[in-house]
Amino acid sequence: MRIDVVSIFPEYLAPLELSLIGKARQDGLLHLNVHDLRDFTTDKHRSVDDTPYGGGAGMVMKAEPWAQALASVAAAGEGKAARPVLIVPSPAGERFSQALAYELAEEEQLVFACGRYEGIDERVLEWAEEHFSVRPVSLGDYVLNGGEVAVLAMVEAIGRLLPGVVGNPDSLVEESHSDGLLEYPVYTKPSVWRGREVPPVLLSGNHGKIAQWRRHEQFRRTAERRPDLLETFDAGKLPRADRTALAELGYDVVDGQLRTRTDAPD
Ligand code: JBK
């Protein structure tokens, strides 16, 4: 996969040289290049922003430097079968998710456009449709100063799904969100730490019981912390043990969906 990131703070993306993603780049599994938007300006001051039409606070990123930068990275990937995907991190985008990470991991080329200030002149996104599949994407409903931190998160989530990047592929299936539930709690030695014991079932050697306990903990945690995940959880083909665990937590399976037992029948 080829990834291009355009930013006015290229140094912000330095962590992509570390750890798993840095190794993937060294191993040639991921071709990642960071570009300075200011290198695509033509004026003396290398200006990338201006005041917003219609008034209001803050500044807007100018169209022409973005068009020059994006045309440059699109040309670099040219001749490939698929149009590159242009991801624009923005609180006004569709929500990023593990499902979207899987989808984007299939692409040949991703381009990330990091906006700062109040955002990028909207005409850039319209123009970019000629060269890219354009996807405004949001990490979440909170305010950041720009897209760079969102790019770090998305590149990590996508990059680790590329073949060969994560050494043990089992690590890819057992994790939070891959099955729509939160992960179970984990423990390591010592078995008693500052008077706190590891749940005894984990020391029992009974692998069936351990699996059942972990599954129950997944449901318990998800019900406690992320009940929204259980609303859309596909409970259609759950084994009996799972249904029993859910029943103990006050959830029944009705038409393949989970329903809390206090729900009034309609
Ligand atoms: C936010 O991806 N985001 O979530 C994002 C990108 C740029 C600015 C922002 O405020 N939330």
Q: What's the 134 CA to ligand 1 centre distance in angstroms?
A: 16
177 vs 194: CA distance, rounded Å: 32
What is the structure's pLDDT at 175?
A: 67
**Residues having CB within 6 Å of any atom of ligand 1:** 89-91, 138-140, 142-144, 146-147, 150
Q: What's the 151 CA to ligand 1 centre distance in angstroms?
A: 10
Q: What's the 135 CA to ligand 1 centre distance in angstroms?
A: 13
pTM value is: 0.94
Closest alpha carbon to 229 in 165, 184, 180, 173: 180
What is the structure's pLDDT at 176?
A: 57
Q: What's the 14 CA to ligand 1 centre distance in angstroms?
A: 19
Residue nearest to atom 11 of ligand 1 (CA): 91
Token pair, residue 226, equals 């992320």
Q: What's the 138 CA to ligand 1 centre distance in angstroms?
A: 6
What is the structure's pLDDT at 140?
A: 97
25 vs 156: CA distance, rounded Å: 12
Residue nearest to atom 1 of ligand 1 (CA): 91
Q: What's the 249 CA to ligand 1 centre distance in angstroms?
A: 36
Angle, to 10 degrees, between the axis of helix 240-248 and the axis of helix 207-225? 40
Token pair, residue 164, equals 């060969």
Tell me which of 114, 139, 151, 154 to substitute to probe ligand 1's pocket, judged by most ligand atoms within 8 Å of the beta carbon. Answer: 139
CB 86 within 8 A of CB 120: no
Task: DSSP for 117-165, please give it.
Answer: TT-B-HHHHHHHTTTSEEEEEES-SS--SBSHHHHHHHHHHHHTTSTTT
What is the structure's pLDDT at 179?
A: 82
Tell me which of 60, 61, 144, 155 to substitute to probe ligand 1's pocket, judged by most ligand atoms within 8 Å of the beta carbon. Answer: 144
What is the structure's pLDDT at 76?
A: 83
* Cβ within 8 Å of residue 16, ≥6 positions away: 5, 22, 25, 32, 34, 152, 155
CB 35 within 8 A of CB 76: no
CB 215 within 8 A of CB 241: yes
Tell me which of 96, 138, 141, 149 to substitute to probe ligand 1's pocket, judged by most ligand atoms within 8 Å of the beta carbon. Answer: 138
Q: What's the 152 CA to ligand 1 centre distance in angstroms?
A: 12
Predicted confidence (pLDDT) per residue in 77-124, tens digit: 888 778 999 999 999 999 999 999 999 999 999 999 999 879 999 999
CB 154 within 8 A of CB 87: yes
Token pair, residue 228, equals 């929204």
Q: Could you tell me the mean pLDDT of each successive run of 10 residues in the chain, 266 residues long?
A: 98 97 97 98 98 97 98 88 94 97 98 94 98 98 97 98 91 72 97 98 98 96 97 93 94 94 73
Closest alpha carbon to 164 in 32, 33, 30: 30
Q: What's the 235 CA to ligand 1 centre distance in angstroms?
A: 33
CB 31 within 8 A of CB 1: yes
Task: DSSP for 7-69, please give it.
Answer: ES-GGGGGGGGSHHHHHHHHTTS-EEEEEEGGGG--STT---EEPPTT--SS-EE-HHHHHHH
